[in-house]
Structure 1
Amino acid sequence: MEGVPKSYEEATTSADRDEWKKAIASELESLIANKTWKLVPRPAHQRTIGCRWVFALKHNEKGEVVRYSQRHGIDYEETYSPVAYLNSIRAKLAKCCADGMHIEQCDVDTAFLYGKL
């Protein structure tokens, strides 16, 4: 297995290209299903925000690759990662404890798509 590709071109021309292409297709399907964007004319005198693919390999506790993945939308000049405020997390944990709830971990694919700009 080769290392993690640094670009779309590296991913799609590597020995593991079939796996990377599946991961790319899955991500694009999710973006389309969530109606992430629509094509519109670029307003005059407006700069567009670029993006690039960022690839990663996910490993299980044994260190084995469990799937190929990527995070889309990271730009060299502008980045943003929505993070909950610590006080919000504390309030939620306190409410769960007060109501006798059990706390579990979860991960939402393309979670960043659910926030309003």
Structure 2
Amino acid sequence: MASRGVYFWKEAIHDEIDSIMHDNTWVLADLPPGCKALGCKWILKRKMKVDGTIDKYKARLVIQGFRQKEGIDFFDTYAPVARISTIRLLLALAAIQNLVIHQMDVKTAFLNGDLDEEIYMKQPEGFVMPGNEHKVSS
């Protein structure tokens, strides 16, 4: 946050937090006995235009899942994304059927995945809810 673009980074972080809160991604809860809360960190990235200029500043809040143990804290690892072969098949079918294709980007699509496990995360630094400092995100 010491860079010249600090205003843009803060705006990107606030946009991400607003999106998380708007989508009710987590609820604040007391940490159950025997459970541990994982930390989180911000991933900051500049999205560039084709000409090399900055298009936008993007912030993503990620949980520090590397602290989990496979078989204890989680059992499966996967990303709910389409395979390239599936996309090619759909494009081919659209071309054969002379269909119109539209593309869209879902800003927080990764937040729509369902988890079978309960995950507890510490509240992000700078965004701890007043009066709920001891609670974790669930």
With the shorter chain as reference, the TM-score category is 0.7 to 0.9
Bigger shift: residues 100-109 or 63-72: 100-109
Q: RMSD of aligned C-alpha atoms?
A: 2.4
When residues 80 and 20 of structure 1 are mapped into structure 2, their CA distance, relative to the original with a 3 A threshold, is: farther
When residues 95 and 43 of structure 1 are mapped into structure 2, their CA distance, relative to the original with a 3 A threshold, is: farther
Partners of 1:59 and 1:87 in 2: CA distance: 27
- TM-score, with normalisation over the residues of structure 1? 0.73
Contact residue 54 and residue 74 of structure 1 kept, 8 A: no
Query: C-alpha displacement at 1:113, in angstroms?
Result: 1.5
> For 1:12-67, what per-residue CA distance to the aligned partner results, in whole angstroms no more than 9, with x for missing partners?
x3332111111111111111111111001111111223221000001111100011
- Which residue number in structure 2 is paired with residue 47 of structure 1? 36
Kindly tell me the number of residue pairs found equivalent between the two proteins.
Answer: 106
- Which residue number in structure 2 is paired with residue 27 of structure 1? 16
For CA contacts below 8 A with separation 6 or more, give which structure has more relative contact order.
2
Give the AA of the match of 1:22.
E
% identical equivalent positions: 36
Partners of 1:95 and 1:116 in 2: CA distance: 30
Q: Unmatched 5+ residue regions in structure 1?
A: 1-10
Partners of 2:23 and 2:65 in 1: CA distance: 25
Q: Unmatched 5+ residue regions in structure 2?
A: 69-76, 116-138
Q: What does 1:35-114 align with in structure 2 at a 5 Å threshold?
A: 35-75=24-64, 77=66, 81-86=79-84, 88-97=86-95, 99-114=97-112
Partners of 1:49 and 1:68 in 2: CA distance: 26
